A and B are shown apart, each in its own frame.
Chain A
Amino acid sequence: MKTLIILLFTVMFASALVAQNASERGLEIAQKAEEADLGFGSSTVELKMTLKNKNGQVSERSLFTKTLELIEDGDKSLIIFNSPRDVKGTSTLTYTHKVGADDQWLYLPSIKRVKRISSNNKSGPFVGSEFAYEDLSSPEIEKYTYRFLEENGDLLLVEQDPVDPKSGYTRRIVSYNKNLGYRIEQIEFYDRKNALLKTLTYSDYKLYKEKFWRASTMRMVNHQTNKETILNFNNYNFEANLTDDDFSQVALQRAGK
């Protein structure tokens, strides 16, 4: 009897330890990935977004993105729309926060005004694409809880559960490549009813400044609607040396012109 109890406790302790280890290891991997990307400072990139429905009909948008790395808080980003024609010059400025809702402003050239959007909603589709805004914003460690799942060759699979109750997902499973700077190879998104919703695949990686891996292609497939969106990144520039001034409301207005 005694041995049984001891055994039982050992098992419970062990499983608790494993659980502890799994979440610690998951967090550790996410942190390593963040560290690997630390110090890029700022970057700009051209982005072409191709939306496909299941019949293969295609719609395109083109954007220009500037990003500024911040250490204490989340990154700042500026997105400028070049097409479709009707929204050319429309720009968004986002301050990502590690905790709480992000700040977001939008410049509308048609009325030449900056509007601040106060919304907790980051889970909706980004300009009709299969990407949610939350899929595109900078991946801050604090936004998820982690659980290491398995090691599969070079890949480390980590389950990440969003902290935000308004997230569209219950969890996502991220595959990190441990030998290539912990770059992300694939993410699977599970919706609120825990069914596989989308798969995002990163490809055509390039190494910039011998440190920073950037995928030239990101392909998001929605398994429930059979729609997909492909992002093509061109002309990554890590030498723009952007500063806070490039991410102000004034800069936002200027960017759209």
Chain B
Amino acid sequence: MNALKKAGDVVNTFTKKWAEFIIKFKWPVMFVTAVVAFGLASQGKMEFDGDYHVFFSESNPELEAFDALQEKYTKDDNVILVLTPDNGDIFTKENLKAIEELTAESWHTPYSSRVDAITNFQHTSAQGDDLYVDDLSYGSETKSEAEIAQIREIALKEPLLVNRLISENGSVTAINITVKLPGEDSAKEIPEVMVSVREMVASFLEKNPNFKVHSSGLIPLNTAFFESSMRDMMLTMIMFIVVVITTLILTRNIFATISTLVVVIFSIVSAVGFVGLLSIKLTPPSAVFPTMIMTLAVADSIHILITFLQKMRTGKMNKKEALVESMRLNFMPVFITSLTTVIGFLTMNLSEVPPFWDLGNITAFGMSMAFLFSTTTLPALIAIMPVKVKIREDKKDEENSWYTSLGNFVTQRPVTLTIVSIAGIGLMTFLATKNRFNDEFVNYFDQSVQFRTDTDYISENLTGIYNIEYSVSSGESGGINNPVYLKKLNDFEDWLNQQPEVVHVNVYSEIARRINRSMHGDLPAYYRVPDNREEAAQYLLLYELSLPFGLDLNNQINVDKSETRVTVTIKNITSAEMIQFSKRGEDWLKENTPVEMHAIGVSPTLMFSKLGFRQARSMVKGTIIALVLISLVLLIAFRSLKFGLLSIVPNVTPVLVGFGIWALYKGLINTGMVVVFGMTLGIIVDDTVHFMSKFLRARRELNYNSRQAVVYAFQTVGKALVTTTFVLLAGFVVLSTSTFALNSYMARVTTIIIVAALVIDFILLPSLLILLNKKHDKALEPKLQADFQLVEKNKNI
């Protein structure tokens, strides 16, 4: 006990000396820290990256499989423009002409390599031994009524078009622009494409006001990511205002507010410098770092400032004394809570999703700087500024009496409260297991984002946005013309078309059937795959010779003609259903085709579907590491194994409660929410640290029993905990307004967890402290008389 006390004394003297040093050299300290902050800031550079690939680490197996598929065929992204004419019929002379013009214009899109529309669809027809291959509608303005009726009939019967480029009733059509980004600087290339497309659409609408245009595809998705990063960055401004108001309310002091702002600004600009130095490109998850840092940094300052103002308002201490005392009392708790927060954020490095590595590292750095500035710049500034407070002893007691009664309430019925809490937590934990993963990337954006509403429109009126691709191999060069292969591929196509989730199947067997029919004078009986290998190969050669620029088959057939690509468009289904569907396709191939034709399903959709599950698996490890490290920090801080272990309860249970309530609220969790475990652990641990440290102090230094110590803890830190919870809530509520679900869901569940943490720290933790210290209390029994008087007396310590 003596040695421990000594250690405590060492810390006390150190912090005291530290505070005095800073007050003495307030100007140099201020100057040096400002130089550090703005020195770092001068290296700052904010660049954004919207490419959806950023969500996948290089070793992500789904990404590898998808890249491998793209290597075999073509590596490309797309923009899909969906056109809806007011008259509800695509097939009029004017409408076809407009589509034809927009199609021609689409070829001018930067990096475009292919444009598919109904007008340039390569229609094949036969007359005897003459084979005609031409655009379905070329020079539409010269077409007669009869010709247009014929075009309509062909289009609405064409499996390659219906539900892909034209709706079944012919009222909605699409132009699909394929772009091949060089991939050197996606932050430049993607906006370049999007700007051009937007301009093109705007001038199209000006000329054709009778059309509505909706756009989707991978490029608009990337753009939406990009723009949501920027928007979330703007939340910083709102957060700034919230910080000013909150600090003003809580401290009721203009100087305190100014110094808090200075600390916050220094922390953020330092973090911006960090981003620049490491040349991190910001993405939607990592772009929220300023708000994160601001929220957490404010909490540090608030702790120091509130104690300082409290001490000054008693009238018993002057500014300098109050400052030194506040630093003495708060240095260790602020250090420990900063440390645990940093640990919590650093565990994001174990995530599967690179943007969270960035978020974790930037915030961890920002928090370290926030600690530094809160313990240097903040006291220096307070020392510099002419801080004045009104002395009001009476009010403080009133305020505190609420916390005292709460303390008394808890100490009187620890058993009941423990049972109730454990039952509640148990129920919530059970509910938490009812949450389901869902990473439908369309739903990452809320309905205020145009990408989302446009995509929803397209799913409802034309085709699906999600797809799965299989690269089906024949096992030999030129083998795709093998009739056995073609028949099996055709069977696969039929099977896929029977599945309820499937909207459209794009597969070579359909082309093979179509050419075969054309080679036999368009006889419907020949709408089947050729049954002779040479025939199939020669038909394909002929067909390929007749295709125009950009509409070749290289995106479906590999160079060696040994593999073909099957693209299945799917309805909007959940991640779990998507994974299950892809598996069903794989299984069908396994059961019904020779081994060389077995293939795995890949696509960006599937990559996102599996991301949540991967993330969860990796974050289990991260969370355990965070838990062990943080418990270890607490164990050392409390200098007690028992209390260190006990602290796990109030640190872990809020997350369970949070996700339990979430199950009732949404029930769906996404990749962004998985990082919450490690992150909130580092944040909510603050409550436990403050509460338990005061509890232990009361027992160790004042020789209180557990009940008295609990009441003491309530009186000393009750208000501070409510205050910081309030600040954290404000921050995460601001973040929860993000239009990007990875951020907003994460923020929302965090707000629930933060509240749950406070409740648990006020109800369950003190109950447990009392129940588990019965033995210790018995030893103190003789001293136990008149404990409340004692507590009253020591209230202000």
Contacts and interface: CB of A to CB of B under 8 A. Distances in A.
Nearest to A79: B545
Interface string B112-132: 110000000010000001111
B537 interface: yes
Nearest to B532: A110
A224 B559 contact: no
B108 A133 contact: no
Contacts of B545: 92, 104, 106, 117, 124, 126-127, 133
Contacts, number: 139
Contact of B131 (A111, A115, A122, A125): A115
A120 B544 contact: no
B534 A86 contact: yes
Given A115-B130, A120-B134, A193-B107, A167 B71 contact: no
B794 interface: no
A116 B131 contact: yes
Nearest to B122: A121
Contact of B537 (A51, A84, A191): A84
Given A59-B560, A124-B548, A86 B478 contact: yes
Main DSSP-derived SS at the A contact region: loop
Nearest to B530: A110
A118 interface: yes
Nearest to B548: A121
Contacts of A193: 107-110, 112
Contacts of A126: 545
Given A115-B519, A124-B548, A225-B180, A108 B559 contact: no
A11 B631 CA distance: 84
Interface string B542-567: 10111111111110010111000000
B148 interface: no
A90 B552 contact: no
Contact of A86 (B131, B537, B552): B537
A118 B131 contact: yes
Interface string A136-158: 00000000000000000000000
B180 A57 contact: no
B200 to A, nearest CB: 11
Interface in B226-284: none
A123 interface: yes
A34 B539 CA distance: 35
Given A117-B545, A121-B547, A168-B548, A87 B134 contact: no
Nearest to B480: A86
Closest 8 A/B residue pairs (Cβ): A168-B549, A86-B537, A123-B549, A121-B548, A110-B534, A124-B547, A192-B107, A110-B535
Given A121-B122, A124-B545, A125-B547, 16 more contacts: A51-B559, A87-B541, A110-B537, A117-B546, A118-B132, A118-B134, A120-B548, A121-B134, A125-B552, A125-B554, A132-B549, A168-B550, A192-B549, A193-B108, A224-B182, A225-B74
19 contacts: A59-B560, A84-B561, A86-B536, A90-B541, A108-B538, A108-B542, A111-B519, A113-B129, A115-B130, A115-B131, A116-B130, A119-B546, A121-B134, A122-B548, A125-B544, A166-B549, A167-B549, A168-B550, A224-B180
Interface of A: 51, 53-55, 57, 59, 81, 84-87, 90, 92, 104, 106, 108-111, 113-128, 132-133, 166-168, 191-195, 224-225, 227
Interface of B: 71, 74, 107-113, 122, 129-134, 180, 182, 477-478, 481, 519, 532-539, 541-542, 544-554, 557, 559-561
